[in-house]
Structure 1
Amino acid sequence: MSFIEIRDLRVAFDGTRVLHGIDLDVAKGEAVGLVGESGCGKSVTWLAALGLLPAKARVAGSVTIDGQELCGASRSILEGVRGRRIAMIFQDPSSALNPVVRVGRQIAEALRIHRGMEGGIARNEAVRLMDMVGIPDARGRFDIYPHEFSGGQCQRLMIAMALAGEPDLLIADEPTTALDATIQAQILDLLSTVRAETGMAMVFISHDLGAVSQVCERICVMYAGRIVEEGAIGALFEQPRHPYTRGLFDAIPRLDGGRQKLVPIVGTVPDPRSPPQGCAFSPRCLQATGLCRDSLPVLMPQQDGRRLSCFHPGAGKGQRLQTSGHRASVAA
């Protein structure tokens, strides 16, 4: 049973629609990946769900956690959910951490807000969390500043802060983007380990198909503010059916292949101020017909259990990604 349910979530900035009715469920303990090019709405979906968008944003639809409505909820309700039930790791730890506050104090503050811990109890728990996420000499480094840590260690500190509230759902917003391949692998292993130990659910937002395949069981492919394909990792990677999903795989270099030229997806993501009349992907799709250009396909359940939004779905083969030391990334 899903404990997070998003229904018909729509977001507009200054009258320009950027999300066009997102429907998404996350079950307890499940790991779901969101992939797609920059600007497709991955991060906006969850910022809207948590009420973290600026005042000029207009949000409509429904977001519930265990039946409690979050969309349009009061500040007190949202503050009771943020960090405590749903925690978020932001993309850039250097901007998320306060540069003039010692890291231990920042983690202890999260413990005070979400779990009511004070003094020595909070300090000991903060040290435990730092040790849990792999910070060497956690007790000795409790009172130093963020700039004294490496980029990978700052990301680990952000994970420790997110875990301070013992959340039911962890949203990891491109947590490995700025890291090298070795550190990225360590962070992915850490997220998998923490999830296995705590039983929390996770939403992993990324451009990196290889990373998503390592930590998630289900994947949602987003394009121009809509989910266009959703399914289990194994089935979708083995046989992507939406032309956009197949295009993402075609643009990935194969480790076991020759020196063939990569096949990019032609064109660019449409301007949200003047979207196509029909399918948003139709101007870039080699299979598009007049129906695609005039009508909007609906995200529909398929016989194999996935959901798909396409009038002419294919049966193309994907890739079995080898992710060790290799980044399989969607164009940013």
Structure 2
Amino acid sequence: MMAKSVSGFRHHALIRIWRPAGMQEGEAEMPLVEISNLKVAFSGIEVLHGVDLAIEKGEAVGLVGESGCGKSVTWLAALGLLPGKASVSGSVRLGSDQLIGASRTKLESIRGGRIAMIFQDPSSSLNPVIRAGRQIAEAVELHRGLTGRAARNEAVRLMEMVGIPDAVRRFDNFPHEFSGGQNQRLMIAMALAGNPDLLIADEPTTALDATIQAQILDLLISIREETGMAIVFISHDLGAVSQICERVCVMYAGNIVEKCPTESLFRSPHHPYTRGLFDAIPRIDAGRDRLVPIPGTVPQPGRMPGGCAFAPRCGHASELCHNKVPPLVAVDDDRATACFHPLSDGATASKPNLMQAQQGVAWA
């Protein structure tokens, strides 16, 4: 694994894929989580249109796209956290367990235990009138069966693990007595209380300033290396995704439109939407006064175009694109793209650079 320090943050040029003890490289194994043809509708209006996604044990996968593309809904549906008006179909398997249609008791045993989720705004997830350490201890009691002093000691250990200073004393502080970054660390500690196999990080750094974002990303990388858990990292920030993920799935309008290894995506994005995401990021070497935004907006649920959902915003769209939905098909051995006219290397005028994305300074 290659890494270098930039402002105290480890920038990983190549992130090691963790494998269980005894498992050799190339050895086939059942995915940790396998999502197949997942569809979600609200009041009869479909918002997810058949998502297929597999998460391997120990890997980190980024899920990127504009707001409203279905990133968070995918995992809320998988965990049974959508409101009652939502209609969910398809398959979500955690090992041999089917989560779609599972009982409330079974889902409650899985949530926080085998799969944990952290959200972008810890202030809305932490109870303001319960001491912070006690909230972590409750999660330990629920998922690990520890009680009393043992639960408290484990909560303190988790607080220390995520970098809360003087954890023994601060166990009894309330959430408002911590900074925003420390509250996010408390949420991570709570998520780790059940020793999950998969951690879903939903925009965990959006509300934090740049230096705290770097610390949180570094913390997630360190915890993954130490525990071997898998991570799904949901974000708008392609630079952050490049730091933590070895594979990326790009979502648009309720579908995955491109998925491949992170380095391949940054070297040569094939879907025009992915190319548009890169082009909308500032470049200090571009010599232009304005950014290049993607024209238009994500189509509203219930008002989807007849063919490719991205066709009205795409400069490469043909008549075929406006009349037929492109399937997600393999472009090469490690990439799949849902596009009738995928971009080639030569069509990519300014290729994004992985290391510069990690440093958050420019595209080359």
TM-score range, shorter chain: over 0.9
For 1:200 and 1:309, the matched residues in 2 are separated by 29
1:189 to 2:218 alignment: yes
1:205 to 2:234 alignment: yes
CA 1:119–1:255 in 2, change beyond 3 Å: closer, same or farther?
Answer: farther
Aligned residues of 1:181 and 1:327 also touching (Cα < 8 A): no
- For structure 2, list consecutive stretches of 5 or more residues without a partner in the other structure: 1-28
Q: In the alignment, residue 126 of structure 1 is paired with which amino acid?
A: A
Q: Deviations over 1:221-252 (max 9, x none)?
A: 00000000000000111000100000000111
**What corresponds to 2:160 in structure 1?**
131
SS of match in other structure, 1:147: helix
From 132, 142, 145, the equivalent of 1:113 is 142
Identity of aligned residues (%): 69
1:225 to 2:254 alignment: yes
For 2:169 and 2:90, the matched residues in 1 are separated by 47
Aligned residues of 2:242 and 2:358 also touching (Cα < 8 A): no
From 310, 320, 324, the equivalent of 2:353 is 320
SS of match in other structure, 1:302: strand
Kindly report which structure 2 residues correspond to 1:1-332, keeping only aligned pairs within 5 A, or say none: 1=29, 2-315=31-344, 316=348, 317-321=350-354, 322-323=356-357, 326=360
SS of match in other structure, 1:140: helix
How far residue 3 of structure 1 moved from its aligned partner, in angstroms, is 1.5
Q: In the alignment, residue 224 of structure 2 is paired with which amino acid?
A: R
For 1:327 and 1:51, the matched residues in 2 are separated by 39
For 2:210 and 2:169, the matched residues in 1 are separated by 28
TM-score, normalised to structure 2, is: 0.88
Q: Name segments (4+ residues, structure 1) moved above 4 Å.
A: none
Aligned residues of 1:185 and 1:324 also touching (Cα < 8 A): no
Aligned residues of 1:182 and 1:325 also touching (Cα < 8 A): no
Aligned residues of 2:202 and 2:235 also touching (Cα < 8 A): yes
For 1:255 and 1:166, the matched residues in 2 are separated by 42
For 2:274 and 2:357, the matched residues in 1 are separated by 18
How far residue 277 of structure 1 moved from its aligned partner, in angstroms, is 0.5
CA 1:194–1:327 in 2, change beyond 3 Å: closer, same or farther?
Answer: farther
**What corresponds to 2:24 in structure 1?**
none
How far residue 259 of structure 1 moved from its aligned partner, in angstroms, is 3.8
Q: In the alignment, residue 54 of structure 1 is paired with which amino acid?
A: P
SS of match in other structure, 1:310: coil
Q: Deviations over 1:10-63 (max 9, x none)?
A: 000001100000000000000000000000000000000000000000000000
- For structure 1, list consecutive stretches of 5 or more residues without a partner in the other structure: none
For 1:80 and 1:132, the matched residues in 2 are separated by 24
SS of match in other structure, 2:220: helix
Q: In the alignment, residue 100 of structure 1 is paired with which amino acid?
A: V
Aligned residues of 2:49 and 2:255 also touching (Cα < 8 A): yes
For 2:192 and 2:259, the matched residues in 1 are separated by 28
How far residue 79 of structure 1 moved from its aligned partner, in angstroms, is 1.1
RMSD: 1.3
**What corresponds to 2:19 in structure 1?**
none
Aligned residues of 2:240 and 2:358 also touching (Cα < 8 A): no
SS of match in other structure, 1:129: helix
Q: In the alignment, residue 319 of structure 1 is paired with which amino acid?
A: P
For 1:160 and 1:126, the matched residues in 2 are separated by 8
For 1:176 and 1:248, the matched residues in 2 are separated by 19
Number of aligned residue pairs: give it: 328
Aligned residues of 2:114 and 2:194 also touching (Cα < 8 A): yes
For 1:50 and 1:252, the matched residues in 2 are separated by 33
TM-score, normalised to structure 1, is: 0.96
For 1:324 and 1:280, the matched residues in 2 are separated by 30
For 2:339 and 2:277, the matched residues in 1 are separated by 16
How far residue 258 of structure 1 moved from its aligned partner, in angstroms, is 3.1
